[in-house]
Protein backbone atom coordinates (compact mmCIF):
# COMPACT_ATOMS: atom_id res chain seq x y z
CA UNK A 1 0.00 0.00 0.00
CA UNK A 2 1.19 3.52 -0.79
CA UNK A 3 1.47 5.72 2.31
CA UNK A 4 -0.42 9.00 2.01
CA UNK A 5 2.84 10.97 2.19
CA UNK A 6 4.16 9.08 -0.84
CA UNK A 7 1.20 10.06 -2.98
CA UNK A 8 2.21 13.73 -3.32
CA UNK A 9 4.64 13.07 -6.20
CA UNK A 10 1.73 11.58 -8.20
CA UNK A 11 1.35 14.59 -10.48
CA UNK A 12 4.71 13.72 -12.00
CA UNK A 13 3.45 10.23 -12.84
CA UNK A 14 1.21 11.57 -15.57
CA UNK A 15 4.35 12.53 -17.49
CA UNK A 16 5.96 9.08 -17.42
CA UNK A 17 6.85 7.73 -20.82
CA UNK A 18 5.23 4.42 -19.94
CA UNK A 19 1.45 5.00 -19.70
CA UNK A 20 0.92 1.55 -18.15
CA UNK A 21 3.19 2.41 -15.21
CA UNK A 22 1.48 5.78 -14.78
CA UNK A 23 -1.98 4.12 -14.83
CA UNK A 24 -0.94 1.46 -12.31
CA UNK A 25 0.50 4.10 -9.99
CA UNK A 26 -2.62 6.24 -10.31
CA UNK A 27 -4.83 3.21 -9.54
CA UNK A 28 -2.69 2.31 -6.51
CA UNK A 29 -2.95 5.87 -5.20
CA UNK A 30 -6.73 6.01 -5.65
CA UNK A 31 -7.20 2.63 -3.97
CA UNK A 32 -4.97 3.71 -1.06
CA UNK A 33 -7.07 6.85 -0.61
CA UNK A 34 -10.38 4.99 -0.84
CA UNK A 35 -9.16 2.49 1.76
CA UNK A 36 -9.71 5.43 4.09
CA UNK A 37 -7.24 4.35 6.77
CA UNK A 38 -6.56 8.06 7.36
CA UNK A 39 -8.26 11.25 6.21
CA UNK A 40 -8.12 11.52 2.42
CA UNK A 41 -5.54 13.71 0.74
CA UNK A 42 -7.27 14.75 -2.48
CA UNK A 43 -4.83 17.27 -4.00
CA UNK A 44 -2.31 14.75 -5.43
CA UNK A 45 -5.11 12.83 -7.17
CA UNK A 46 -6.59 16.06 -8.57
CA UNK A 47 -3.17 17.25 -9.75
CA UNK A 48 -2.46 13.90 -11.43
CA UNK A 49 -5.77 14.17 -13.32
CA UNK A 50 -4.96 17.75 -14.36
CA UNK A 51 -1.46 16.75 -15.52
CA UNK A 52 -2.96 13.92 -17.56
CA UNK A 53 -5.48 16.32 -19.14
CA UNK A 54 -8.42 14.43 -17.63
CA UNK A 55 -9.94 17.29 -15.59
CA UNK A 56 -10.03 21.00 -16.33
CA UNK A 57 -9.35 23.27 -13.32
CA UNK A 58 -11.50 25.95 -14.99
CA UNK A 59 -14.49 23.58 -14.97
CA UNK A 60 -14.74 23.29 -11.16
CA UNK A 61 -18.41 22.73 -10.40
CA UNK A 62 -17.91 23.95 -6.81
CA UNK A 63 -20.83 22.36 -5.01
CA UNK A 64 -21.33 23.31 -1.31
CA UNK A 65 -17.56 23.60 -0.64
CA UNK A 66 -16.85 20.45 -2.63
CA UNK A 67 -14.71 20.88 -5.72
CA UNK A 68 -16.21 18.62 -8.37
CA UNK A 69 -14.97 17.87 -11.86
CA UNK A 70 -16.14 15.68 -14.71
CA UNK A 71 -13.38 13.31 -15.84
CA UNK A 72 -12.91 13.57 -19.60
CA UNK A 73 -11.95 10.86 -22.04
CA UNK A 74 -14.51 8.30 -20.93
CA UNK A 75 -13.72 8.54 -17.24
CA UNK A 76 -10.88 7.08 -15.21
CA UNK A 77 -10.65 3.32 -14.77
CA UNK A 78 -9.52 2.06 -11.38
CA UNK A 79 -9.22 -1.71 -11.03
CA UNK A 80 -12.05 -2.20 -13.53
CA UNK A 81 -14.44 0.48 -12.19
CA UNK A 82 -14.95 3.53 -14.39
CA UNK A 83 -15.30 6.81 -12.55
CA UNK A 84 -16.91 9.73 -14.39
CA UNK A 85 -16.38 12.47 -11.82
CA UNK A 86 -14.31 13.39 -8.80
CA UNK A 87 -15.21 15.61 -5.85
CA UNK A 88 -12.92 16.77 -3.08
CA UNK A 89 -12.69 19.00 -0.06
CA UNK A 90 -9.49 19.99 1.70
CA UNK A 91 -9.69 21.27 5.27
CA UNK A 92 -6.16 22.67 5.45
CA UNK A 93 -6.22 26.32 4.27
CA UNK A 94 -2.51 26.16 3.36
CA UNK A 95 -3.10 23.22 1.02
CA UNK A 96 -6.18 24.94 -0.47
CA UNK A 97 -4.11 28.10 -1.03
CA UNK A 98 -1.65 26.14 -3.20
CA UNK A 99 -4.40 25.24 -5.70
CA UNK A 100 -7.53 27.36 -5.19
CA UNK A 101 -8.58 26.40 -8.73
CA UNK A 102 -8.84 22.76 -7.60
CA UNK A 103 -9.93 23.22 -3.98
CA UNK A 104 -12.92 25.53 -3.68
CA UNK A 105 -14.13 26.60 -0.23
CA UNK A 106 -17.56 28.16 0.00
CA UNK A 107 -19.27 29.65 3.03
CA UNK A 108 -20.97 27.54 5.67
CA UNK A 109 -20.28 24.22 7.31
CA UNK A 110 -17.41 22.17 5.95
CA UNK A 111 -18.26 18.78 4.45
CA UNK A 112 -15.10 17.42 6.10
CA UNK A 113 -11.96 16.22 4.38
CA UNK A 114 -13.36 14.37 1.35
CA UNK A 115 -12.40 12.49 -1.79
CA UNK A 116 -15.19 10.89 -3.81
CA UNK A 117 -15.59 9.40 -7.26
CA UNK A 118 -18.85 9.19 -9.20
CA UNK A 119 -19.74 6.22 -11.36
CA UNK A 120 -22.64 5.15 -13.54
CA UNK A 121 -22.54 1.69 -11.92
CA UNK A 122 -25.41 0.92 -9.58
CA UNK A 123 -24.88 0.75 -5.83
CA UNK A 124 -24.68 -3.06 -5.75
CA UNK A 125 -21.99 -3.20 -8.44
CA UNK A 126 -20.01 -0.40 -6.76
CA UNK A 127 -20.29 -2.12 -3.37
CA UNK A 128 -19.10 -5.44 -4.82
CA UNK A 129 -16.15 -3.67 -6.49
CA UNK A 130 -15.30 -1.90 -3.22
CA UNK A 131 -15.42 -5.14 -1.22
CA UNK A 132 -13.24 -7.00 -3.73
CA UNK A 133 -10.69 -4.25 -4.35
CA UNK A 134 -10.61 -2.30 -1.09
CA UNK A 135 -12.26 -4.47 1.56
CA UNK A 136 -15.22 -4.32 3.91
CA UNK A 137 -13.97 -1.95 6.61
CA UNK A 138 -15.82 1.21 5.43
CA UNK A 139 -18.17 -0.38 2.92
CA UNK A 140 -21.40 0.91 4.45
CA UNK A 141 -20.15 4.53 4.64
CA UNK A 142 -18.12 4.63 1.41
CA UNK A 143 -20.87 3.78 -1.08
CA UNK A 144 -23.78 6.14 -1.67
CA UNK A 145 -26.41 6.34 -4.37
CA UNK A 146 -28.69 8.91 -2.83
CA UNK A 147 -27.77 12.60 -3.19
CA UNK A 148 -24.66 12.16 -5.33
CA UNK A 149 -22.73 15.37 -5.89
CA UNK A 150 -22.71 15.62 -9.69
CA UNK A 151 -25.64 13.43 -10.62
CA UNK A 152 -23.72 10.19 -11.04
CA UNK A 153 -25.63 7.04 -10.15
CA UNK A 154 -23.30 6.09 -7.27
CA UNK A 155 -20.39 7.61 -5.38
CA UNK A 156 -17.44 5.86 -3.81
CA UNK A 157 -15.81 8.02 -1.14
CA UNK A 158 -13.45 8.49 1.75
CA UNK A 159 -14.30 11.17 4.28
CA UNK A 160 -12.84 12.38 7.56
CA UNK A 161 -16.25 11.56 8.99
CA UNK A 162 -15.47 7.85 8.87
CA UNK A 163 -11.74 7.54 8.10
CA UNK A 164 -9.49 5.58 10.39
pTM (2 d.p.): 0.85
d(CA 8, CA 44): 5
d(CA 74, CA 120): 11
d(CA 154, CA 124): 9
More confident site: 3 or 100: 100
Whether the per-residue pLDDT at 9 is higher than 50: the answer is: no
Strands (E) across 17-163 are located at 67-70, 76-78, 81-83, 85-89, 114-119, 143-144, 154-159
More confident site: 11 or 136: 136
Mean pLDDT of the chain: 86
pLDDT tens per residue across span 41-85? 999 999 999 999 999 999 998 778 899 999 999 999 999 999 999
Amino acid sequence: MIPVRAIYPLAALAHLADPVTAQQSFEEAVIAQLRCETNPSPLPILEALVAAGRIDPNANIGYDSLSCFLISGGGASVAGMTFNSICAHEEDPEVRARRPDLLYRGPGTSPGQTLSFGTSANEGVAAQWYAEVIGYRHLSEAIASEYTSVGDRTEVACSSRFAG
